Structure 1
């Protein structure tokens, strides 16, 4: 084999005095063994080594069958100062690019980076540049034994074999580090995880404790735990990482533009963060494709593979096989009462955090069916932070990531679900149909990285208040970095005018006003936002027209645009992706109107009372800053329109009119109308019940779906977008928070009627804001 130059380039022999050297050769076949022995002998002969070094051959990469460590057990009887040096042959692809890898044909022909003995010999003879010889960082037997005894169980009858397996695992780790210098950081994967956890002394003591509590044998529990590990522990490999990368690129490329829009500098900061700290990447969840976006961006930027948590519902044949080998951790939907499962999961998570393998998942738990951020789910965050606490992890970084799309295929399904229809079960057939449905133009994908929430250390297990505060901070930052996109502003403009259509000039004026408002407040606007709106009218808006979200009529003297027939729920979804930016302004508009209808001396008090009232009314819909900070945000926003706003407020309706005319664009009607109408439906429905009647959530939702439909047909609510299960569920929570759902007391009838009247009054004020907005648009030049 023509490997002379390869041998010359580096020396496998460690620096030493008179110490013995033991080489561990990681080999899969006879050709690799021959190459590594030739490398050792080449430098051994040249350097006149005084004695031969023992050489042990082990296949360190086969995690399914474990190690054949018999030879290593005997070799570790060498003196404690013996230097152990692991060696490996790394093969690179002929085309030399990660983009060309992951081809399914390699399942038949074999991965070119793992050639057979015969093929490896041919490569070495004809393409020696594809052969790379790497040595892992050497260590002494004494140091390795000390580390082993500090963290692993030591039992007399198996101590030597356990130590040999530990040394083999450490050899695999240092060789992987050296191999990544050749292949890249994207191939950093955890190795021999289950074996490491099973050998962990602390884990074994915890299992023994459970065995004593449950009256079972430790071996029985360890066997059960091994089954859990086989189910949950991902087994990634370079080949399947490449396959998954190609799969992600394929699926996203069916409907979206090739390049995901993100800030390269933010991604580089993210690289440093996950390299140096225990890290979690928590992303917003709008579609099944979300789980492809973060891994694709990480892969394209040569990041270590992020482990992704997924529900067992996605672990079906085909997709489950791929995801499990590309970093997915499938966990049971419910395991609250399974202490062994929780213990095993905690140690697995702790291992990944300790080894700096970032984890990522959708912290909302499920896809947002309404576009806006859903309340965070605490389950996974709780278990990860508990694992961090147990391993005493420090400087934990929780990084919010906002994933956004111009158009989302799933929104039609969400709108249907919200009417009360069920969702189909996930299966391979379903997934194939879903992927096929992506093959239509849908614009661009955006990934925005927020500022990390940094914990000096994890809170104590059971500290639910600390957990909720952490989740809240993540949610607020995720909202903060969600970008304003063209579809979100277009739908906001057209929904604000609905049922009226707008001319192209009116749409452009609306977009300019909304965009200017956002820019003056330094809100996140997509870097790819095209401010040439006239050009967009045939571009991205054309896609929205093709999707029937927007309708275009051009047979009159002017081209006009409106929301498509029966498309208000779909259009509302896109509007809702940025609605959080406008909530404070909407509250100000409604509070100003309320204050203007009071006496001059009570106006200021009425304003702040209404601000707090609206904040409380919609607390199940939006994330607010703490009260004091929230009040300052309100002051800052209203001061932009009139620095002397408190004095102007005392002027009554005249002052209100002057201030409101200066607050273009008005947003209360397009921001809060949907929620106010939905709440009005559940409140009116409850007011019809007798005081002794109680109301359960499921009953409330089911009745509200039918009652809401009637209200829409009677035009007591303005849009079908105000009819939906999630809206009514939050409406029920609002009723429950006011102690109105549990029947009993005689005063309940009056209290329920008062709330229904209160919401009708709120809708009246929203209609006034809408009317003023229409008048302002008509008065505009």
Structure 2
């Protein structure tokens, strides 16, 4: 038998080397799963397949893991390093598999009885050939790879057709020592491991391929037959005097407009294209916190990805990353503006489903879309949608649109999903956004161009090196836990037949949307471009010597390392010098040698463009910047007075920048930031008073640059507050318009390049914050407005304050 296995191994090695890629998931399993190389490792496979073992052996060698064909010595006895749950289907389905799985596990467990120091690590390892989920009613041809334990002929065809699309998924190791200690060394424990292993591999396959695909037309018929759709069709008949047949046909027409037509073959083609594309335009993609998402998928959660929206690249980037993390690409809610030929049909086969910008006035369309989304959840497809609604033109997170979140909550109220629904916030960042030039034109008043094939071809033609892309998964939000906390009575509203709109739905969904946006910002990524932009845009003439720029970035890195913004935030490992060099290579900054050293600056259009990247991370430095502003303007003040000022302004910053700290969290962050600024020499103490470093000190200059980060935000606040102080009865619409006009004047007079400085939406957020904080109350409002105005205006430069006063008077 051993001779036969060695012969078979040798026979398979050459074709596997030539035909099989075997992408590992995760990329570095030893580090990510904390595998201990000093302890024995046994691989647990689903199938006793020679081909799988040979593919695994090649990948293990590259990863520094033990060879699965190398026998394991345990207590002086030779033990196979691979055990399999299922017997092999070999040579015309003959049964010549080795010992049953449970017997092998029990043998290794018994070895732990003989040695107290022994701790075998069992690593569940899935080998997947392709990612086709199969169909609910498979065709004869589709059935080729649609069997979980294929015989030798099927396996040969899978290797030939899908060898380049194979994945090897290493799961977290199971300690047999712990199993022995917890459950005993007996047949029941071995049986328990067998049962858990079968469930594990079932869930893992579902995680990798997704559920079986329904026939599209059969799915349409299933949707229009639901009680909610029958009711919606009846209402359409009554309201518009249509026949039931016509209303039903219109519902199916809407479904055809909306529904995805997912194809695993298209995903394979897109994988090839995207691999070429990323290699052409990006230097790489950095992915963080993915393991928590894989763990949720493995546990059977219904995943709803809610990323920020920077670019049309977002759709492709997230799906590409998920694909290589061993997760099935999600069904993606896309604007109907993207449903143009030829992109629309391609997107649809890649998992996109299309939605109109507004459902208002069309109850039938609204019902159809809601039922389609509920069916996706019911069948177990992961879903992706952008809560901002559209792409951010300024680099800031946009105020969330709550429609999709409301429908997700309503699915929970329908009891339409048996699995726990979990929202996964995702921060997407780029060192270059493809549409950045177009965004700036739109912010200056140019009308948004309609998407078209020519626009896509024009963008592709201009592709070049865009640096790095960043995909950071934020802290998942369990929908059930959130509802239990915010609306404990939600279970009373569960109704399988009716779409529920209880009184608590809107405020709860609003809170949920805010939490999603905060978690996206919590998972932000610092990178060379946004750090350079943050530094240079705060400098006079937007220029710094290279030495000063490196020192300022080093300061920001040290601040964020000493006082992390959040555990999900990522910080570059490189030092400031390397980050500046990387940023210069991307050709976004002007570099001039003047005989003393290099001067790095932002000129003309680039200064405007860089505000986009600065805005990606401004929330991370808003608090230390506010502290710096207070100390600089007051020259010296007590810590108590400083905190009082910060806590008065913070609620406005929290609403605008989607910051996450409550009152207690703010106190901790304030104390940490203040301590860090003292450690770094930017703030000193004289008795109980805080003060700034001496004049002409490099530390003082660094403090000024830090303070300037938040200055434009404080200027906008002062514009609105000054008007309310002079005219408390000003209506909201008029207040927003006049604030915008004054901001445009201030920008012209003081060289402010940020387009969002006079964005009416940003003023609207601030006014909403004032209303929520009681500043617009008729009784106490005027006094509170006056106090806040005095507090913030004290932090502005005299000339800026004078410009605002002249405009308001």
Quickly name the TM-score band, shorter chain normalised: 0.5 to 0.7
Deviation digits for residues 423-457 of structure 1 (CA, Å, limit 9, x no counterpart): 212122222222223x1221011111222111336
Deviation digits for residues 157-211 of structure 1 (CA, Å, limit 9, x no counterpart): xxxxxxxxxxxxxxxxxxxx99x97x99347553225524633697146514651
Distance, in Å, in 2 between the alignment partners of 1:506 and 1:348 is 56
Is 1:561 matched up with 2:594?
Answer: no
How far is the alpha carbon of 1:597 from its aligned partner? 6.5
What corresponds to 2:532 in structure 1? 490
Q: Quick one: which of 303, 308, 312 aligns to 2:332?
A: 308
1:278–1:356 CA contact under 8 A, matched in 2: yes
1:278–1:357 CA contact under 8 A, matched in 2: yes
Tell me whether 634-643 or 609-618 shows the greater mean CA deviation: 634-643
Distance, in Å, in 2 between the alignment partners of 1:569 and 1:750 is 38
Q: Quick one: which of 613, 635, 638 aligns to 2:671?
A: 635
2:223–2:371 CA contact under 8 A, matched in 1: no
Is 1:292 matched up with 2:316?
Answer: yes
What corresponds to 1:623 in structure 2? 658
What corresponds to 2:36 in structure 1? none
Distance, in Å, in 1 between the alignment partners of 2:755 and 2:714 is 8
Is 1:578 matched up with 2:587?
Answer: no
Distance, in Å, in 1 between the alignment partners of 2:427 and 2:720 is 32
Q: Quick one: which of 185, 191, 214 aligns to 1:191?
A: 214
In the superposition, relative to structure 1, how do residues 620 and 435 fare at CA in structure 2: closer, same or farther (>3 Å)? Answer: farther
How far is the alpha carbon of 1:730 from its aligned partner? 1.7
Q: Quick one: which of 443, 455, 458 aligns to 1:418?
A: 443
Q: Quick one: which of 268, 284, 287 aligns to 1:242?
A: 268
In the superposition, relative to structure 1, how do residues 709 and 205 fare at CA in structure 2: closer, same or farther (>3 Å)? Answer: closer
How far is the alpha carbon of 1:241 from its aligned partner? 1.7
Is 1:543 matched up with 2:589?
Answer: no
In the superposition, relative to structure 1, how do residues 663 and 559 fare at CA in structure 2: closer, same or farther (>3 Å)? Answer: closer
How far is the alpha carbon of 1:675 from its aligned partner? 1.8
Is 1:516 matched up with 2:558?
Answer: yes
Q: Quick one: which of 491, 495, 520 aligns to 1:478?
A: 520
What corresponds to 1:126 in structure 2? none
In the superposition, relative to structure 1, how do residues 588 and 94 fare at CA in structure 2: closer, same or farther (>3 Å)? Answer: same
Q: Quick one: which of 370, 373, 381 aligns to 1:346?
A: 370
Distance, in Å, in 2 between the alignment partners of 1:616 and 1:184 is 41
Distance, in Å, in 2 between the alignment partners of 1:402 and 1:738 is 28
Distance, in Å, in 1 between the alignment partners of 2:770 and 2:401 is 24
Tell me whether 628-637 or 553-562 shows the greater mean CA deviation: 628-637
How far is the alpha carbon of 1:580 from its aligned partner? 1.3
SS state at 1:261 partner: strand
In the superposition, relative to structure 1, how do residues 567 and 609 fare at CA in structure 2: closer, same or farther (>3 Å)? Answer: same
Deviation digits for residues 578-607 of structure 1 (CA, Å, limit 9, x no counterpart): 211112222333445577667xxxx56643
1:370–1:576 CA contact under 8 A, matched in 2: yes
Q: How many equivalent residue pairs?
A: 598
1:308–1:361 CA contact under 8 A, matched in 2: yes
Deviation digits for residues 221-268 of structure 1 (CA, Å, limit 9, x no counterpart): 3322211211111111222222332343344444212x42114xx434
Distance, in Å, in 1 between the alignment partners of 2:443 and 2:364 is 38
What corresponds to 1:696 in structure 2? 733
Distance, in Å, in 1 between the alignment partners of 2:264 and 2:562 is 47
- The aligned runs of 1:43-62 (5 Å cut-off) are none
SS state at 2:480 partner: strand
In the superposition, relative to structure 1, how do residues 712 and 226 fare at CA in structure 2: closer, same or farther (>3 Å)? Answer: closer
Distance, in Å, in 2 between the alignment partners of 1:758 and 1:273 is 46
Segments of 5+ residues of structure 2 without an aligned counterpart are 1-46, 49-88, 95-132, 140-149, 167-200, 484-489, 491-500, 802-809
Distance, in Å, in 1 between the alignment partners of 2:643 and 2:570 is 37
What corresponds to 2:752 in structure 1? 719
How far is the alpha carbon of 1:555 from its aligned partner? 3.8
In the superposition, relative to structure 1, how do residues 501 and 307 fare at CA in structure 2: closer, same or farther (>3 Å)? Answer: same
What corresponds to 1:443 in structure 2? 467
Distance, in Å, in 1 between the alignment partners of 2:435 and 2:569 is 22
In the superposition, relative to structure 1, how do residues 305 and 617 fare at CA in structure 2: closer, same or farther (>3 Å)? Answer: closer
Is 1:502 matched up with 2:502?
Answer: no
Deviation digits for residues 117-157 of structure 1 (CA, Å, limit 9, x no counterpart): xxxxxxxxxxxxxxxxxxxxxxxxxxxxxxxxxxxxxxxxx
What corresponds to 1:327 in structure 2? 351
In the superposition, relative to structure 1, how do residues 764 and 542 fare at CA in structure 2: closer, same or farther (>3 Å)? Answer: same
How far is the alpha carbon of 1:67 from its aligned partner? 11
1:237–1:326 CA contact under 8 A, matched in 2: yes
What corresponds to 2:761 in structure 1? 729
In the superposition, relative to structure 1, how do residues 762 and 202 fare at CA in structure 2: closer, same or farther (>3 Å)? Answer: farther
How far is the alpha carbon of 1:557 from its aligned partner? 2.6
Segments of 5+ residues of structure 1 without an aligned counterpart are 1-8, 11-38, 45-59, 69-85, 101-176, 769-781
SS state at 2:287 partner: coil
SS state at 1:612 partner: helix
SS state at 2:478 partner: strand
In the superposition, relative to structure 1, how do residues 452 and 225 fare at CA in structure 2: closer, same or farther (>3 Å)? Answer: same
Distance, in Å, in 2 between the alignment partners of 1:411 and 1:320 is 23
What corresponds to 2:715 in structure 1? 677
Q: Quick one: which of 466, 478, 482 aligns to 2:508?
A: 466
What corresponds to 1:150 in structure 2? none
What corresponds to 1:72 in structure 2? none
What corresponds to 1:24 in structure 2? none
2:718–2:792 CA contact under 8 A, matched in 1: yes
TM-score by length of 2: 0.64
What corresponds to 2:296 in structure 1? 273
In the superposition, relative to structure 1, how do residues 506 and 639 fare at CA in structure 2: closer, same or farther (>3 Å)? Answer: closer
2:233–2:248 CA contact under 8 A, matched in 1: no
2:535–2:553 CA contact under 8 A, matched in 1: yes
Distance, in Å, in 2 between the alignment partners of 1:188 and 1:248 is 24
- The aligned runs of 1:216-227 (5 Å cut-off) are 218-227=244-253
What corresponds to 2:395 in structure 1? 371
Distance, in Å, in 1 between the alignment partners of 2:768 and 2:676 is 37
- The aligned runs of 1:164-179 (5 Å cut-off) are none
In the superposition, relative to structure 1, how do residues 227 and 248 fare at CA in structure 2: closer, same or farther (>3 Å)? Answer: same
Deviation digits for residues 272-305 of structure 1 (CA, Å, limit 9, x no counterpart): 3124111111112111111111111122344222
In the superposition, relative to structure 1, how do residues 708 and 639 fare at CA in structure 2: closer, same or farther (>3 Å)? Answer: closer
In the superposition, relative to structure 1, how do residues 617 and 270 fare at CA in structure 2: closer, same or farther (>3 Å)? Answer: closer
In the superposition, relative to structure 1, how do residues 611 and 724 fare at CA in structure 2: closer, same or farther (>3 Å)? Answer: closer
1:187–1:238 CA contact under 8 A, matched in 2: no
In the superposition, relative to structure 1, how do residues 569 and 474 fare at CA in structure 2: closer, same or farther (>3 Å)? Answer: same
SS state at 1:441 partner: coil
TM-score by length of 1: 0.66
What corresponds to 1:255 in structure 2? 281
Greater radius of gyration (CA): 1
What corresponds to 2:78 in structure 1? none
What corresponds to 1:203 in structure 2? 226
